[in-house]
Amino acid sequence: MKKSLLIIICLLSLVVDASAERVRVRLFSNNSIDNIAISFDLGTYNIYADDTILIEPEVGIGKSIELTPVGQKVHVTIDGYNYGNHNTIHFTANDTACILCLNPRNLKHRTYEGDLHVSVNKNGKLFIINEVEFETYIAGVVQSEIYGDSPDIFRVQAIISRTWALKNINKHRSEGYNFCDQVHCQAYLNRCVRPDIMLGTMLSSGMTIVDNQGKLIDTPFHSNSGGQTANSEDVWRSAVPYLRSVNDTFSYHMRQSEWVKVINKDKWLNYFASKHKVDIHNDSIRNLLLSFSQSERKVRLCGVPLTRIRTDFQLKSTFFSIIYDSVTERLTLSGHGFGHGVGLSQEGAIRMVGLGISYDSIIHHYYTSAHIQKNDIYPSSYVEHYIQQISQIIEEDKQSNTQTKSKKDDWLGRLFRLRDREEREEVYDPTTEELENDWKYDW
Ligand SMILES: [Zn+2]
């Protein structure tokens, strides 16, 4: 009896561990939200006003909920009926296959999985939190942070985004959530809807990047290095052993490889004279200011940090050279890359994937001397089955010329059924037959 009780407790703790990995993400954190309409794309929710259920029975497709701030309370309208003012409104998903559609007034709508909590902040605006499984959040971040068409590039982005998230899990703790949905943390502008991104995230599940001491590393990334990444101390304060400048020809000939900006000579020289007390009447200094060139990344121009110049002139990168035209009295800044240049170049990584270079080699190229660590968070049989199923979905998607709604719904449904299996069973047994009518959702 005691032994079986112990087994049950162990199994329960496994279930708790898996579901406990949820994060709270503040949505629309850069916007002031005065009104939001919420509808249901999939599954059913229970809606609570503080601790009390607001409407029975479970709410799903067809219902429309509108929330507006009134003082420090949330005013609730459901299908046009007044449901009063409350401190916090909670939308609790009834299973793993639940999707909410959020329509703030004057902003583009977004969809999210998981739970939602809505209250009013001290400025009298709606304060919206999405509570969601960690890996679902990561897939949404990957979709928002990188473009591409290969699961391997999404695998790389998932590893660095997961590492960042775990290292910064308490970034907004004092404000009652883990992350905001903007680049201050990581962009999370929708739930993930693409199977190749879901596959990339699953292929990397549990993978993080650590230093020689086994500690999670900082994983800065940028759009394009322009051909050479930057040392951390040349952009920020400290030298970090794994954030070293490397040659990066993989970043050539991509969308963000080159840029040009034309600046009036007087504006340029006056900037150095007035803001940085540079003696622009000294001939050699003046010449340097008008003919500065970088074949390799430099850090300063006449003593002024290039990072400062980049900010003040809103340049895409610090990696630029100057051509001066004495006739027009204008100078052309001809630059390479986009972003701060430290860590991983996303477009370089995209090119490397295209060349067939493995995800771990890509990570080691940009985060020199760092290591990839893997913790198994899902049973391997589940991961294998998920990867096999989703690969098949991607293949079918490629062969289909038109992406009809029914086709998308079909693969989403299959994915959700897979996820439900993981919830249902400690270890998924692929030999078990799935019953056709086992899982039914309204689409
Ligand atoms: Zn943030």
Going from the Cα of 82 to the center of ligand 1, the distance in angstroms, rounded, reads 34
- Where residue 72 falls (left for φ over 0; alpha for ψ -120 to 50; beta otherwise) is alpha
Contact criterion met (CB below 8 Å) for 298 and 306? yes
- Cα(179) to ligand 1 centroid in Å equals 5
* Cα dihedral: 176, 179, 184, 190 (round 10): -130
Token duo for residue 51: 């601790």
CA 67 to ligand 1 center in whole angstroms: 24
Residue 141: its pLDDT value, please? Answer: 95
For the cut 50, the answer to whether the pLDDT of residue 1 exceeds it is: no
Q: 57 C-alpha vs ligand 1 centroid, how far in Å?
A: 36
Measured in Å, residue 172 CA sits from the centre of ligand 1 at: 7
Q: Compute, in angstroms, the gap from residue 407 CA to the centroid of ligand 1.
A: 36
Q: How far is the CA of 353 from the centre of ligand 1 (A)?
A: 29
What separation in Å is there between the alpha carbon of 45 and the centre of ligand 1?
Answer: 28
pLDDT of residue 8: 34
50-59, 200-209, 280-289, 335-344: least confidently modelled range: 50-59
CA distance 225 to 404: 38
Of 412 and 443, which is predicted with more confidence?
Answer: 412
Q: Which amino acid is at 73?
A: K
| Inter-residue contact 263 to 331 (CB < 8 Å) | yes
Let me know: does 47 contact 91? Beta carbons within 8 Å: yes
CA of 30 to the centre of ligand 1 (A): 10
Percent of the chain with pLDDT over 90: 70
Encode pLDDT of 176-191 as tens digits: 999 999 989 999 999 9
What's the 207 CA to ligand 1 centre distance in angstroms? Answer: 22
Q: Both ends of the chain: CA-CA distance in Å?
A: 45
At 434 the pLDDT is 38
Kindly list the domain boundaries of the chain, sorted by start residue. Answer: 18-134, 258-336, 380-424
Tell me the pTM: 0.83
Whole-number Å distance, alpha carbon 180 to ligand 1 midpoint, is 4
Question: Can you give the pLDDT at residue 71?
Answer: 95
Q: How confident is the model at residue 161 (pLDDT cuts 50, 70, 90)?
A: very high
Indicate whether 79 pLDDT > 60.
Answer: yes
Q: What is the mean pLDDT of residues 404-427?
A: 49
Q: Which residues are within 8 A (CB) of 39 and not within 5 positions of it... i.e. 6 or more apart?
A: 61, 63, 64, 65, 100, 101, 103
pLDDT band at 361 (very low <50, low <70, confident <90, very high): very high
What is the pLDDT, as a whole number, of residue 5? 37
pLDDT digits (tens, 9 = 90+) for 10-29: 333 333 333 348 999 999 99
Better-scored residue on pLDDT, 371 or 437: 371
- Distance from residue 161's CA to the centre of ligand 1 (Å): 14
The percentage of the chain sitting over the pLDDT mark of 70, rounded to a whole number, equals 86
Q: Report whether pLDDT(429) > 70.
A: no
Q: Report, as an integer, the average pLDDT of 427-431.
A: 39
> 306 CA to middle of ligand 1, Å?
26
Eight-state DSSP code of residue 242: T
Q: What is the DSSP string of 6-23?
A: HHHHHHHHHHHHHHH-EE
177 CA from centroid of ligand 1 (Å): 10
Give the per-residue pLDDT at 147.
Answer: 84
Q: What is the average pLDDT across 211-231?
A: 95
Compare 142 and 405 and report the one with higher pLDDT.
Answer: 142
The more confident residue out of 98 and 3 is 98
Model confidence over 31-77: pLDDT tens digits?
Answer: 999 999 999 988 899 999 998 998 877 888 888 999 999 999 999 99
Cβ < 5 A residues, ion ligand 1: 180, 184-185
Ligand 1 centroid–CA 181 distance in Å is 7
Q: What is the mean pLDDT of the chain?
A: 86
Residue 129 CA, ligand 1 centroid: distance in Å: 13
Q: Is the pLDDT of residue 400 over 60?
A: yes
Buried b (16+ CB within 10 A) or exposed e, 73-97: bbbbebeeeebebbebbbbbbeebb
Output the pLDDT for position 437. Answer: 33
Å from CA of 354 to ligand 1 middle: 32
pLDDT of residue 389 exceeding 60, the answer is yes
Q: pLDDT-based confidence at 416, cuts 50/70/90?
A: low
pLDDT band for 406, please (50, 70, 90 cuts).
Answer: very low
Which is more confidently placed, 423 or 254? 254
| Distance (Å) from CA 164 to ligand 1 centroid | 12
Cα 174 to ligand 1 centroid, rounded to whole Å: 12
pLDDT recorded at residue 37: 96
Ligand 1 centroid, distance to 117 Cα (angstroms): 18
How far does residue 137's CA lie from ligand 1's centre (Å)?
14
